[in-house]
């Protein structure tokens, strides 16, 4: 039975890592859920203080991820259409041009959204797109770092490496 739970945890951790890139999946919360399942349903355990702290970090990173994208767009003069373009561009980029679509898609999506907002000002649209891309990449790096850390905690506890 414990093997089945560990398998489910591994699946949750993998989905969590994928969710760091795909905006529809909340990566760190899914990874943290996997760690909680591992803690509560197996003979392996973590310190409660560490779980509470990690839970707070996951909540903060999830909030910060959305905030960074909005901040990146707004800091460079964009609005709602540029933000929506970033998200749409990411999804289409991943579907149509993997793996490079993860960088190209949000940039093009933000550019097109900003172009609609900025009308004829192409330089401003490029600037907004750069801000959206910076915000997206910053959030992605933070989410990925947290999910990797959670995965390392799992592997360390499972295999007793460190």
Domain ranges of the chain: 2-159
CB atoms under 10 Å from CB of 65, counted, come to 23
pLDDT digits (tens, 9 = 90+) for 46-64: 999 999 999 999 999 988 8
On whether the pTM is more than 0.85, the answer is: no
Question: What's the count of helices (H) and strands (E) in the chain, helices before strands?
Answer: 6, 0
- pLDDT tens digits, residue range 88-109? 888 888 888 877 887 888 889 8
């Amino acid at each position: 039975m414990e093997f089945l739970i560990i398998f489910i945890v591994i699946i949750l951790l993998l989905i969590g890592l994928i969710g760091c890139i795909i905006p529809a999946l909340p990566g760190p919360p899914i990874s943290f859920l996997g760690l909680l399942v591992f803690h509560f349903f197996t003979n392996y355990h973590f310190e409660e203080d560490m779980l509470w702290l990690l839970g707070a970090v996951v909540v903060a990173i999830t909030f910060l991820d959305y905030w960074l994208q909005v901040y990146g767009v707004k800091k460079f003069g964009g609005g709602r259409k540029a933000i929506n373009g970033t998200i749409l561009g990411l999804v289409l980029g991943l579907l149509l041009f993997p793996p490079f679509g993860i960088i190209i898609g949000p940039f093009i999506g933000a550019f097109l959204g900003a172009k609609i907002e900025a009308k004829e000002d192409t330089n401003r649209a490029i600037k907004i797109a750069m801000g959206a891309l910076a915000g997206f990449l910053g959030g992605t790096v933070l989410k990925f770092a947290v999910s990797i850390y959670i995965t390392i905690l799992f592997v360390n506890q499972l295999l007793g490496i460190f």
